């Protein structure tokens, strides 16, 4: 049997084909446009996801026995607002996770409704990227579109709907909408009322490893796959990446250096950070997790390389960076605003400490270190909760950089485990499909049998000490310039 994992990302959809032994047979990627209609806004067309996913699936399975494709599941970009009318037409482009337009609505939820109420209803407070503030934004700014809403769904769930006709979501992804009672794993009636929507507009909820349907006959024919192929609920990209890296079970950790950056801590028990600086979400393994999310991680390096110094030689640019822990240049990686722990959509990217002898390497190093320091911000919150983390898995495009991995190990002062496959959400999706098809009895068993650690980066005491001093400097910058960001946007 074969299983397809679909990683519906922000820049591309990555499709992975896995056999029942956990071996990756093929990987295909298809890009689609990202639109920025106004500064701080971020949108995509769901139809683009669908068309590129179909093309990618056809290429993915062209050299295998298609009749043996037993299941398909997902790891998808979280929080995006996809709205359909009564005829299942997409009403407007999807408003994405890194969109910052909802400052007013987020402030309303956190101050008028109140953070305590939100935490009581959903275990979380409002962040600009979450789905509920986006629904309020559409209600206030596009009332005609709001009146047309019949179905509200998340990005990956749109693919599941097109594939199977099942209007569903999973607990992990739905946790990030600010519409779900995470502790009790059900929709919050109170939040639906606050947003002015009915519960009927929201999808049926499932565990990530639940089969929710099979391929529609016409879709199966178009893709060349059997109608018996199961469509499995899947997970938000971070939960799916955690599955793909073996971050399941109590007390496990994963750092993701993708477009966004995350610290993901799995737990068998439900728990909430009292300051709500970390998200309290359901996990794809059937339990829970805490997560810190920064909006720009590897995308900071991509921006610096592609747009500023205009090179694709990412590895070459890092070759001459040798003075770790000694850089006088610092970078705040808030190119799209920031979520954890600052919750400030007005925050912006900032270089500080430049002098006449600052080099290109210094600034490249500052970008990489800035992301590592921002990830540590979330680690500090976890420490304040009494959570002690001694090691972490690492995944995402940024994890391919040996230099960045070394920085992470020493900035966080923990062991960093690199795994055999760095495919994260796509592999996690395929593993969830295999669990749904009965190849593995649980997500934990799938992780135990498939995920292999190939390298461990140990923290270096002398470098840890240097980075401790550097982090303390970094931590002072944001509070110092915080009020200026709002002024700059006025």
Q: Is residue 347 part of a domain?
A: yes
For residue 51, is it within any domain? Answer: yes
**470 and 359 fall within a common domain:** yes
Show the domain range for 18.
Answer: 2-240+427-432
Q: Are residues 198 and 252 located together in one domain of the fold?
A: no
- Phi-psi map region of 246: left, alpha, beta (phi>0 left; psi -120 to 50 alpha): left
Active-site option among 7, 210, 237, 362? 237
Q: Please answer whether residues 84 and 150 qualify as being in contact, where contact means their C-beta atoms are separated by less than 8 angstroms.
A: yes
* 212 and 282 belong to one structural domain: no
Q: Establish if 440 belongs to a structural domain.
A: no
297-326: average pLDDT: 96
- Once rounded to an integer, what is the mean pLDDT over residues 396-413? 95
Say whether pLDDT at 140 is over 90.
Answer: yes
Asked whether residue 360 is assigned to any structural domain, the reply reads: yes
Whether 446 is covered by a domain: the verdict is: no
- Per residue in 47-81, pLDDT (tens digit) is 999 999 999 999 999 999 999 999 999 999 999 99
Tell me the pLDDT tens digit for each residue of 338-348.
Answer: 988 998 989 99
CA dihedral for 368, 369, 374, 378, sign (positive or negative): positive
Residue whose tokens read 């950056």: 261
Query: How confident is residue 133, by pLDDT bands cut at 50, 70 and 90?
Result: very high
Residue 319: HSE in the Cβ half-sphere, 13 Å Cα cutoff: 5
Q: How many domains does the chain have?
A: 2
Please compute the mean of the pLDDT values over residues 440-452 and round it to a whole number.
Answer: 96
Same domain, 226 and 91: yes
Is the per-residue pLDDT at 417 higher than 80?
Answer: yes
Band (195; pLDDT cuts 50, 70, 90): very high
Query: Which of the listed residues 385, 400, 432 is the one where a domain comes to its end?
Result: 432
- Specify binding-site residues for substrate: 78-79
Asked if 407 and 307 sit in the same domain, the reply is yes
Whether 75 and 202 share a structural domain: yes
Using alpha carbons, list the distances in angstroms from residue 58 to 9, 49, 113.
19, 14, 47
Is residue 437 in some structural domain? no
Confidence of residue 276 (pLDDT cuts 50, 70, 90): confident
User: Of 163-167, 248-252, 420-424, where does mean pLDDT reach its minimum?
Assistant: 420-424
Question: Can you give the CATH number for the domain in which 226 is found?
Answer: 3.30.420.40
pLDDT of residue 248: 94
Q: Checking phi first, is residue 71 left (phi over 0); if not, alpha (psi -120 to 50) or beta?
A: beta
To the query of whether residue 85 is one of the catalytic residues in this protein, the response is no
- C-beta of residue 79 within 8 angstroms of C-beta of residue 42: no
Q: What is the CA radius of gyration of the chain?
A: 21
pLDDT confidence of residue 269: 87
On the question of pLDDT at 490 being above 80, the answer is: no
Q: Are residues 185 and 89 in the same domain?
A: yes
Whether residue 341 has a cis bond before it, omega within 30° of 0: yes
Tell me what pLDDT residue 384 has: 85
pLDDT of amino acid 489: 79
Q: Are residues 286 and 224 in the same domain?
A: no
Determine the Cα angle at 27 with ends 21 and 30, to 5°.
150
Q: Per DSSP, which regions of 174-217 are E strands?
A: 180-181, 186-187, 204-206, 211-214
pLDDT of residue 472: 98
| 457 three-class SS | strand
* Residue numbering of the annotated binding site: 78-79
Name the pLDDT band for 445 (thresholds 50, 70, 90).
very high
Residue 96, in any domain of the structure: yes
Would you say residue 386 lies in a domain? Answer: yes
Burial class (CB in 10 A: 0-12, 13-18, 19+), 221: exposed
289 and 340 fall within a common domain: yes
pLDDT at 39: 87
- Statement to judge: residues 217 and 174 lie in one domain: yes
My answer on whether 182 and 257 are in the same domain is no
Res. 145 pLDDT band, cuts 50 70 90: very high
When pLDDT is cut at 50, 70 and 90, the band that residue 40 belongs to is confident
Same domain membership, residue 256 and residue 228: no
């Amino acid at each position: 049997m074969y299983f397809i994992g679909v990683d519906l990302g922000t820049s591309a959809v990555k499709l992975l084909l896995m056999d029942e032994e956990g071996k990756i047979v093929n990987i295909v990627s298809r890009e689609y446009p990202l639109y920025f209609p106004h500064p701080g806004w971020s949108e995509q067309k769901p139809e683009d996801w669908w068309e590129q996913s179909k093309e990618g699936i056809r290429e993915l399975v062209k050299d295998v026995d298609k009749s043996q494709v037993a299941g398909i599941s997902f790891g998808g970009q979280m929080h995006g607002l996809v709205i359909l009318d009564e005829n299942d037409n997409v009403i407007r482009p999807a408003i994405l996770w890194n969109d910052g337009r909802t400052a007013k609505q987020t402030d309303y939820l956190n101050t008028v409704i109140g953070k305590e109420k939100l935490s009581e209803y959903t275990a979380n407070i409002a962040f600009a990227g979450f789905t509920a503030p986006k629904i309020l934004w559409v209600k206030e700014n596009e009332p005609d579109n709001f009146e047309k809403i019949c179905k509200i769904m998340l990005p990956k769930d749109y693919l599941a709907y097109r594939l199977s006709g099942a209007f569903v979501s999973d607990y992990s992804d739905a946790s990030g909408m600010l519409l779900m009672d995470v502790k009790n794993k059900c929709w919050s009636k109170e939040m639906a009322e606050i947003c002015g929507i009915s519960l009927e507009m929201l999808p049926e909820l499932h565990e990530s490893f639940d089969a929710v349907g099979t391929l529609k006959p016409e879709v199966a024919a178009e893709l060349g796959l059997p109608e018996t192929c199961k469509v499995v609920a899947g997970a938000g990209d971070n939960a799916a990446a955690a599955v793909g890296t073996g971050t399941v079970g109590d007390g496990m950790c994963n750092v993701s250096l993708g477009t966004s950056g995350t610290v993901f801590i799995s737990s068998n028990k439900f728990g909430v950070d009292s300051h709500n600086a970390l998200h309290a979400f359901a996990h794809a393994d059937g339990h829970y997790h805490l997560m810190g999310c920064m909006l720009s991680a590897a995308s900071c390096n991509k921006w610096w390389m592609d747009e500023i110094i205009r090179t694709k030689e990412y590895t070459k640019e890092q070759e001459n960076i040798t003075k770790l822990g000694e850089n006088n240049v610092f970078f705040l990686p808030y190119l799209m605003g920031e979520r954890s722990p600052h919750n400030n959509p007005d925050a912006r990217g900032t270089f500080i400490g430049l002098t006449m002898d600052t080099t290109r390497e210094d600034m490249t190093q500052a970008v990489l270190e800035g992301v590592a320091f921002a990830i540590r911000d979330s680690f500090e919150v976890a420490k304040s909760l009494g959570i002690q983390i001694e090691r972490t898995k690492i995944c995402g495009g940024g994890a391919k950089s040996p230099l960045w991995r070394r920085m992470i190990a020493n900035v966080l002062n923990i062991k960093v485990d690199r795994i055999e496959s760095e495919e994260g959400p796509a592999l996690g999706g395929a593993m969830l499909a295999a669990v749904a098809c009965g190849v593995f009895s649980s997500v934990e068993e799938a992780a135990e049998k498939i995920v292999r650690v190939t390298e461990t980066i140990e923290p270096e005491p002398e470098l840890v000490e240097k980075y401790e001093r550097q982090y303390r400097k970094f931590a002072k910058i944001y509070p110092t310039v915080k009020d200026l960001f709002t002024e700059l946007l006025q």
